[in-house]
């Protein structure tokens, strides 16, 4: 951490936006200078809660008055593209956003490209890929500590493959150090395959990775619900917690769990959101890359779209990257439009605390 104190704008200050606001008011190298939220009553309450005087109803008004160093875009997914591109064009140094990044691949492309063209650090959000233990397990896999990777599997890939499944895809890509290049999938229930959203969709199938691995995908119930990666000697298992590491078998044929001895991480206040924010700020400082990028979120969306596409075409193989960038997959309405628009608003009393 250097001596710079970054000026931060929180754009979209609902429940998740408030989690980010808590974090950015905690760290000594960041200061929230503006809050943007369409809900005027909530906006005023949060201004008082976080001691922020610059309160705006939209991004355009924010950028007319203040160009922050950091823009934290936590709007419903429908509004992310316009907010990200407006901040990029205004010259913000670093932009982060949440999941899912978009419904349409072309919109995700536009955000990534707008930031790349201007040299802006574009980070992702609250994914377990940013857990420091997940990052360390990946590094140990990549440096050969456990031997050559021989296989991988994904468990629990269903219910919501764009907003929830992006956790699985992002961890899988990190642990295997590979991209998904072909998908064969089938899905249930039948009505979910024809719906615009991925709500309730269960996907089973196979992902072929660019390193040659064939990754089995289980949407239906298995003993775990995350990502397994194995070598001849070891199994690394991410199951929504710090990865477990197993080596060898006991006399009953059960895998023997090792103590992973992960290195301590100096920041731990906000679970894996911490790693997301701290690696993002380090990247803005010029040190490394965010542990989750906007491009990572785009890849997760593309895999989700391809999986549903294959399943809806009677398990026809679908190659990635997808040529048709107009393809879409909408998340559930709460993620797409937010609680205020879908009958699940946050109470003002809750926003005060």
Please report the pLDDT score of residue 92 as a whole number.
Answer: 98
Please report the pLDDT score of residue 155 as a whole number.
Answer: 97
- Whole-model pTM: value is 0.96
CA gap 327, 269 in Å, rounded: 38
**Spatial CB neighbours of 107, under 8 Å, sequence gap ≥ 6:** 81
Distance between alpha carbon 145 and the CA centroid of its chain, in Å?
27
CA gap 14, 87 in Å, rounded: 19
Q: Which of 273, 272, 3, 283 is nearest to 115 (CA)?
A: 283
Please report the pLDDT score of residue 128 as a whole number.
Answer: 95
Strand pairing category for 244-249 and 318-319: unpaired
Backbone angles phi, psi at 105, to 5 degrees: -60, -40
The 3-class SS string of the chain reads CCCCCEEEEEECCCHHHHHHHHHHHHCCCEEEEEEECCCHHHHHHHHHHCCCCCEECCHHHHHHHCCCCEEEECCCHHHHHHHHHHHHHHCCCEEEECCCCCCEHHHHHHHHHHHHHHCCEEECCCCHHHCHHHHHHHHHHHCCCCCCEEEEEEECCECCCCCCHHHHHHHHHHHHCCCEEEEEEEEECHHHHHCCECCCCEEEEEEEECCCCEEEEECCCCCCCCEEEEECCEEEEECCCCCEEEEEECCCCCEEEECCCCCCCCCCCCCHHHHHHHHHHHHHCCCCCCCCEHHHHHHHHHHHHHHHHHHHCCCCCEECCCCCCCCECECCHHHHHCCCCCCCCCCHHHHHC
Q: Which of 213, 208, 151 is nearest to 184 (CA)?
A: 208
Query: pLDDT tens digits, the chain, 353 residues: what are they?
Result: 567 799 999 999 999 999 999 999 999 999 999 999 999 999 999 999 999 999 999 999 999 999 999 999 999 999 999 999 999 999 999 999 999 999 999 999 999 999 999 999 999 989 999 999 999 999 999 999 999 999 999 999 999 999 889 999 999 999 999 999 999 999 999 999 999 999 999 999 999 999 999 999 999 889 999 999 999 999 999 999 999 999 999 999 999 999 999 999 887 778 899 999 999 999 999 999 999 999 999 999 999 999 999 999 999 999 999 999 999 999 999 999 999 999 999 999 999 98
Please report the pLDDT score of residue 271 as a whole number.
Answer: 87
CA gap 102, 124 in Å, rounded: 12
Categorise residue 118: left if φ over 0, alpha if ψ from -120 to 50, beta otherwise: alpha
Please report the pLDDT score of residue 81 as a whole number.
Answer: 98
Please report the pLDDT score of residue 268 as a whole number.
Answer: 75
CA gap 40, 292 in Å, rounded: 31
């Amino acid at each position: 951490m250097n001596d710079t104190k970054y000026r931060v704008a929180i754009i979209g200050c609902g429940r998740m936006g408030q989690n980010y606001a808590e974090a950015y008011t905690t760290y000594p190298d960041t200061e929230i200078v503006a809050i943007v939220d369409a809900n005027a009553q909530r906006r005023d309450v949060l201004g008082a809660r976080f001691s922020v005087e610059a309160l705006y109803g939209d991004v355009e008004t924010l950028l007319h008055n203040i160009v922050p160093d950091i823009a934290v875009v936590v709007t419903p997914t429908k509004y992310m593209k316009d907010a990200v591109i407006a901040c990029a064009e205004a010259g913000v140094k670093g932009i982060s956003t949440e999941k899912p990044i978009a419904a349409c691949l072309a919109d995700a492309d536009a955000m990534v490209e707008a930031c790349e063209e201007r040299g802006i650090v574009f980070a992702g959000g609250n994914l377990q890929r940013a857990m420091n233990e997940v990052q360390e397990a990946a590094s140990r896999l990549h440096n050969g500590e456990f031997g050559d990777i021989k296989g991988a599997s994904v468990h629990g890939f269903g219910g919501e493959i764009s907003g929830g499944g992006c956790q699985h895809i992002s961890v899988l890509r990190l642990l295997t150090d590979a991209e998904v290049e072909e998908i064969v999938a089938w899905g249930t229930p039948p009505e979910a395959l024809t719906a615009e959203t991925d709500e309730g969709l269960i996907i089973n199938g196979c992902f072929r990775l660019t390193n040659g691995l064939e990754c089995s995908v289980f949407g239906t119930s298995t003993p775990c619900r995350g990502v397994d990666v194995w070598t001849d000697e070891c199994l690394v298992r991410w199951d929504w917690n710090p990865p477990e590491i197993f080596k060898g078998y006991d006399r009953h044929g059960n895998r023997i769990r090792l103590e992973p001895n992960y290195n301590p991480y100096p920041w731990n206040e906000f679970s894996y959101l911490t790693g997301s924010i701290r690696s993002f700020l380090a990247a803005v400082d010029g040190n490394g890359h965010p542990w989750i990028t906007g491009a990572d979120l785009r890849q997760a969306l593309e895999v989700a779209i391809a999986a549903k596409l294959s399943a809806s075409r009677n398990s026809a193989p679908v190659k990635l990257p997808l040529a048709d960038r107009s393809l879409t997959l909408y998340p559930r309405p709460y993620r797409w439009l937010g609680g205020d628009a879908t009958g699940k608003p946050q109470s003002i009393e809750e926003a005060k605390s």
